[in-house]
Chain A
Amino acid sequence: MSSPLILIVEDEMKIAEVIRDYLNRFGFKTSWLTQGDTVIPFVYEFGISFAVK
């Protein structure tokens, strides 16, 4: 079973990096978007397990 993909939606890079590091530490794959209007197209294209704002 592949690792779940967690989407991080955060416009502050350093905050996103901290969240990413924690999630990666626990074995989750992550993607990062900076703007909310790009979330829905991303979800349609890639599918996600969870989103963090």
Chain B
Amino acid sequence: MLFRDIVEISVDAHDHGFPLNHDPGPGLFSSPPKPPLHPDNRPPPDDLVQGMPPPRPMDKNHINDRISLFDASKMPVAGVSRNVKENILKEILLNGQGIGYLGVIKNKPPSKPHELRTPLSILQGEIEALQDGVRPWDDKALQSLHSEVSHINTIVDDLYSLSLADCGGLSFNMETIDPVLILKQTLSLFRTRFEKMGMDIRETPEAQNHPGRGLRIVIDFPVITRENNEVAP
């Protein structure tokens, strides 16, 4: 759904030069009060369906004015922040396509919403258990609630970092890491499970420590999740 919607937006920008004088229908863009005509004031090409004309770069000075004429939050792209939508539009207007930001969206870690949902479900269940008298109010219950709130805080911080990345405002903290060591630590989480499945993990001579430079945030997101940490012995 997300891919299709963005592709449709991209096609519109190709064909019409992103016409703000054309209202494509309810829910897509808000109609501007007195939208400007296309810069060269020529009608849309006739071969809209037959093919994609080459991208027509636009003067950068006009982009912000054009974006300000409609409400980007009404773009029909679910689950994408307003900043990302505006960046997609800027890229469409600059390059005639929004494929670059499409790649960013597709590569977003999909586990974050699920990870947020899990501690919220735990909080809800534990609070309702206390309300229903299924569990006693004691230090153990309080500590469990506190740990879940702390975990949610961590995830919210991660989401904030992602939103900064959306608008290009994320400053990455480069640090020297050892990818092999991270791989070993990750495999150790699954070692018992692998052994139960009859799988043997062997370390090859080449898999020695090779300190490298990278972004730990990129490595941590897809590999280590709460679920893996807790289920693995």
Contact = CB atoms under 8 A, between A and B. Distances in A.
Interface of A: 11-15, 18-19, 21-22, 25, 34
Interface in B111-135: 118, 121-122, 125-126, 129, 132, 134-135
Given A18-B122, A22-B134, A12 B227 contact: yes
Contacts of B231: 11, 34
B230 interface: yes
18 contacts: A11-B227, A11-B231, A12-B121, A12-B122, A12-B227, A12-B230, A13-B230, A14-B144, A14-B148, A15-B118, A15-B122, A15-B125, A18-B126, A18-B129, A19-B125, A21-B129, A21-B135, A22-B129
Chain B CB count within 10 A is highest, among A14, A15, A21, A34, for A14
Interface residues of B, number: 14
Given A12-B118, A25-B134, A18 B125 contact: yes
Contacts of B227: 11-12
B126 A14 contact: yes
A15 B132 CA distance: 16
The main secondary structure of chain A at its interface with chain B is: helix
A33 to B, nearest CB: 11
A16 B135 CA distance: 14
A36 to B, nearest CB: 12
Interface string B208-233: 00000000000000000001001100
B82 to A, nearest CB: 33
A2 to B, nearest CB: 22
A11 B134 CA distance: 21
Contacts of A11: 227, 231
A11 B122 CA distance: 12
A1 B125 CA distance: 30
B134 A21 contact: yes
A21 B135 CA distance: 7
Contact of B121 (A13, A15, A21, A34): A15
Interface in B65-113: none
Contacts of A34: 231
Chain B CB count within 10 A is highest, among A13, A18, A19, A21, for A18
B129 to A, nearest CB: 5
B42 to A, nearest CB: 60
Nearest to B231: A11
Which 9 A-B pairs rank lowest in CB-CB distance, beginning with the nearest?
A: A18-B125, A14-B122, A25-B134, A21-B134, A11-B231, A18-B129, A22-B134, A21-B135, A21-B129
